[in-house]
Amino acid sequence: MFQQDQDIFKVFLGAVSEGVIVVDEHQNIVETNDPANRMFGYRKGDLLKQPLNVLIPHNYHAGHGAYFDGFMKKKEQRQMGQGRNIFGARKDGSIFPLEAGLNPFTIYGKDYVMALVIDISIRKEQEEKIQELNLDLEKKVIERTQELDKTILELEVENEKRIEAEEEAKEALKREQELNELKTKFLSMVSHEFKTPLSGILISTMLLSKYKLAEQQEKRDKHIKTISDKVHYLNNILNDFLSVEKLEKGKIKYNPTTFKLSKVINEVVYNANMLLKEGQKINYPKDIDSFSLYQDEKIVELALSNLVHNAIKYSSENSYVDIDITQDDIRTIFRVKDNGIGIPIKDQKNIFKRYFRAKNALLSQGTGIGLNIVKDHLKNLKGEIYFESEEEKGSLFTIELPNKATV
């Protein structure tokens, strides 16, 4: 072909570094240049008049035919590197990736396509390597990320544990501090509660030793009585402490018996009379001979004594303490009323708590145990205790108890 311009044409073909393959409209090869021959592994001239299919891997033949026909109809240029991956077949049957730019042209009334072809196996290999490296990298990133996630998770768990431990430590510290505070208060309370009567006893013994004359028997008797009273008083405090322990462990055994209420009242009033301040008086019912109870007598006495002693302790000289008792078929109600310092509203909700002392009672003797014990006992005996109180006006404590104990 191209007889006239063959020389020029040959120069062009030789100068082009890409492979050049020219095919006619029947896909027969009409011209190739050296780079194209080398690329596909043919000797110079071997490809002429061969169908283009020899350069195309078998599995692409069918597809390529249809594509070629479509391309010939449109006759548009197609630049290199556009479109899908295409492959070439070498003479020895090996397949390699290539890029082809297609340039249709017409000469002497015949249609041709000039294909510029580049072997891109090296590039592809590099691309693949890059892709592989990328994949590797991604994999590593994922791995590292997972490792990091795991570490973070571990750290979080660790952190949570630490926070928990810290909170536990704080809680323990708080408990310790509260306990310490309670201990300090308790010790100060105990030392006050014990030292005052002990000092009384001590001075009584000192005085006893001074009264040596026969006619001083009266004085000696008085101090012996003081000592005996104070020993009883101390014994009662100790009993209170011990019953706290017993109540807490549920170790108390109640011992119900049938007894006359008047007997208990007389006992309580008799003992309370010794504690009266100057001008204080206890009013108590004297017409209760018909009242009797089936209860633990000691507990009833303890509860009433507590209320009466409180009434005396927390009211001033020249005041009255009123005891009132009513009974119906089921219950007995005891009321103890005073006109003393009362309980501040703020402290009323805590008044039955162990060791609690109302603000206005802190400087008076007391352990803060009495009412706590009474309440616990009464609860065990299916009874109740409640009160009304106004600061600086006085208090009214009420105990309700079933006539027949069921314990």
Partner 1 sequence: MKKVLLIEDDRILRENTAELLELSDYEVITASQGKIGVEMAKLHFPDIIVCDIMMPELDGYGVLETLSKKKAQSLFLLSFYRPKQNAKILEKGWI
Residues that bind partner 1 (CB under 8 A): 188, 191-192, 195-197, 199-200, 203-204, 206-207, 210, 223, 226, 229-230, 277-278, 317, 341, 360-361, 363-365
The DSSP bridge pattern shows strands 281-283 and 320-327 to be: parallel
Q: Which is nearer to partner 1, 271 or 360 (CB)?
A: 360
> Each residue of 140-161: b (16+ CB within 10 Å) or e?
eeeeeeeeeeeeeeeeeeeeee
Cβ distance to partner 1 smaller for residue 390 or 392: 392
The residue (of 350 and 365) whose beta carbon lies closer to partner 1 is 365
Cα separation, 265 vs 323, in Å, equals 9
Cβ 332 to partner 1 shortest distance, Å: 33
User: Shortest gap between Cβ of 322 and partner 1 (angstroms)?
Assistant: 21
What is each CA distance from 393 to 61, 315, 334, in whole angstroms?
Answer: 116, 10, 20
- CA dihedral (311, 312, 317, 318) in degrees, to 10, reads 70
Instruction: Please tell me what DSSP assigns to residue 85.
Output: -
Give the shortest CB-400-to-partner 1 separation in angstroms. 30
- From the centroid of its chain, how far is CA 200? 55
Alpha carbon distance 134, 117 (integer Å): 28
> What is the closest distance, in whole angstroms, from the C-beta atom of residue 230 to partner 1 in the complex?
7
Closest to partner 1 by CB, 277 or 379? 277
Shortest spacing between CB 199 and partner 1, in angstroms = 6
Report the nearest approach of partner 1 to the CB of residue 248 (Å). 27
Q: Which is nearer to partner 1, 210 or 346 (CB)?
A: 210
Instruction: Indicate the residue among 79 and 364 with the shorter CB distance to partner 1.
Output: 364
Is the Cα dihedral 74, 75, 77, 82 positive or negative? positive
CA distance 32 to 42: 10
**Least Å distance between CB 210 and partner 1?**
6
Nearer to partner 1, 82 or 217 (CB): 217
State how far the Cα of 404 lies from the Cα of 265, in Å rounded to an integer: 18
